[in-house]
Homo-oligomer: A and B are copies of this chain.
Amino acid sequence: MRCALLLASSLQIGAYLLGSTPITSGAAVSSARDGRKGPSPAMDAAATEKKPLPPKITWDSHTYVDEVPDSLVREDDLGGNMDMRRRFEANCRRAQNEICKAIEELDGSQFQQDVWTREGGGGGISRVLKEGNVFKAGCSLSVVYGSMPQEALASATSRGADRAKGYAPGERVPFFACGLSSVMHPRNPMAPTMHFNYRYFETEGGVWWFGGGSDLTPSYLFEEDVKHFHGTYKAVCDKHDPEYYAKFKKWADEYFYIKHRGETRGLGGIFFDDQNDRDADTIFAFSKECLDSIVPAYVPLVAKHKDDVYTEKQKQWQQMRRGRYVEFNLVYDRGTVFGLKTGGRIESILMSLPETARWEYNHKPEEGSPEADIMDAFKNPRDWC
């Protein structure tokens, strides 16, 4: 068993889960290929000059603030690709506003906002729709200055040795991370849950990468809905690289897998990490377009089903699938587990959990039922487009 498995490679909603992604990600800035635009000179300089470690993060390190700062990226942090840090944060904040607005319009009620900063820099903007008419939903921005063991960086991939340039074994390597993360749980069992997160990382030592993904978790299978969601993301992928969709669709099927159940959490979508094989601007453009596709990929599906009639039995099935969502997030999601164990803001991390969930001993859907139909798709991931 590798301890690294516990470390996060997915930014679960909000918080400092971000801290974990490097484990499966990373490539040295200096490996930027093909003469495409490389890192800024400031970032290369940072690779050789060590900064003091950020203070130890604990669950009490968050300070709530009434006013939203213009940026949560530190002004005084001259190393790194400052331009990308600021642009990534600005884009997350714009997307957060747009997505929340679309959800509020559908729901008829408002997100509640909590803003906090952290000692040592960074902070977050959490938005939660607690008692919505249509949803229990959360959408959270995080900016994190943290540190992680050099080994966690160096041992993760073949390129990993470059990740912690100038750091000795045992030394912790400072990192910067920014991400937007969200889970939307509709109340109606015919309307699917959706999760996304998009994130950008830099480590001291000159390593950067992008990660992210959007995935759909219905309780009942409406093929045209799943095709619409996957199709929207396939179109985005295809614009950027003809190999992206197949690769990132498979990655989602593998990542959102509840091993002890032998089934996926939902019907997938796309998932990627460790992206730095082309220049940062190019990957940023892809990441941005993925974020911009949340509303058109998802909102119509909920609009269509939010008022569907359903039985008590169907509601219970949804609740059992939400139990599986809880199992995945608490047992496997590397972001959640890492966040819980390393001092993220708990309420932001666990915003991803549904409002209610159910467990029934040894429940088996009736053969030929709609529940058995979607269960088959959870057990045997299908191609949707």
User: What 1/0 mask marks residues of chain A from 348 to 366 whose CB sits below 8 Å from any chain B CB?
Assistant: 0111011111111110000
Q: Which residues of B contact A319 (CB under 8 A)?
A: 356
Q: Judging by beta carbons under 8 Å apart, are A346 and B2 in contact?
A: no
**Would A358 and B355 be within 8 Å (CB), given that A3-B3, A330-B327, A340-B331 are in contact?**
yes
User: Within the complex, which residue of B2, B6, B359 is in contact with A354, where a contact is CB–CB below 8 Å?
Assistant: B359
Interface 1/0 per residue, A184-195 and B, CB below 8 Å: 000000000000
Determine if B361 and A138 form an interchain contact, defined as CB atoms under 8 angstroms apart: yes
The answer to whether B360 and A355 have CB atoms under 8 Å apart is yes
Give the chain B neighbours of A360 by CB distance below 8 A: 130, 355
Q: Is A279 positioned at the interface, with any CB of B under 8 Å from its CB?
A: no
Count residues of chain A with CB under 8 A from any CB of chain B: 38
Whether A361 pairs with B260 at a CB distance below 8 angstroms is no
Asked whether, in the complex, the Cβ of A262 is within 8 Å of the Cβ of B359, the reply is no
Contact between A353 and B347 (Cβ–Cβ < 8 Å)? Answer: no
Instruction: Tell me which residues across on chain B come within 8 A of A351, comparing CB atoms.
Output: 361
Q: Is the CB of A353 within 8 A of B346?
A: no
Select one of B3, B260, B355, B358 contacting A2, CB under 8 A: B3
Measured in the bound complex, the distance between the Cα atoms of B353 and A327 in whole Å is 11
Q: Does A261 contact B (CB under 8 A)?
A: yes
A222 within 8 A of B: no
Asked if A92 is at the interface of the complex by the 8 Å CB criterion, the answer is no
Query: CA–CA, A114 to B364, complex, Å?
Result: 15
In the complex, chain A residues 299-347 whose Cβ is within 8 Å of any chain B Cβ? 319, 323, 326-327, 330-331, 337, 340-341, 346-347
Q: Is the CB of A331 within 8 A of B326?
A: no
Q: Which residue of chain B is the closest to A357 with respect to CB atoms?
A: B357
**Which listed residue, B262, B326, B355, touches A59 by the CB 8 Å rule?**
B262
Does A128 sit at the interface, judged by CB under 8 A? Answer: yes
Chain B min CB distance to A226 (Å): 26
Tell whether, in the assembled complex, residue A362 and residue B262 are in contact, meaning their CB atoms are under 8 Å apart: no
Which B residues are in CB contact (< 8 Å) with A361? 112, 128, 130, 138, 347, 351
Question: A1-55: which have CB < 8 Å to B?
Answer: 1-3, 6
Taken residue by residue from 269 to 312, chain A's Cβ proximity to chain B (1 for < 8 Å, 0 otherwise) reads as: 00000000000000000000000000000000000000000000
Of B59, B128, B262, B354, which is within 8 A of A260 by CB?
Answer: B59
Contacts of A359 in B (CB 8 A): 350, 353-356
- The interface residues of chain B lying within 8 Å CB-to-CB of A112 are 361
C-alpha gap A57/B174 in the complex (Å): 41
Task: Report the minimum CB–CB distance from A77 to chain B (whole Å).
Answer: 27
Q: A58 CA to B330 CA in the complex, in Å?
A: 21
Given the complex of chains A and B, what is the CA–CA distance between A131 and B341 in angstroms? 35
For residue A128, which residues in chain B have a CB less than 8 angstroms away from its CB?
361-362
Contact B260 A341 (CB under 8 A): yes
Given A3-B3, A262-B59, A330-B330, A356-B355 contact (CB < 8 Å): no
Q: Is the CB of B340 within 8 A of A330?
A: no
Partner of A326, one of B261, B262, B330, B347: B330
Closest chain-B Cβ to A188's Cβ sits at a distance in Å of: 18
In the complex, what distance in Å separates the CA atom of A6 from the CA atom of B4?
A: 12
A327 to chain B, nearest CB (A): 6
A148 to chain B, nearest CB (A): 11
Separation in Å of the A364 CB from the closest CB of chain B?
A: 10
Question: Would you list the 9 A-B pairs with minimal beta carbon distance, nearest first?
Answer: A330-B330, A260-B340, A353-B359, A128-B361, A347-B362, A3-B3, A1-B3, A356-B358, A130-B361
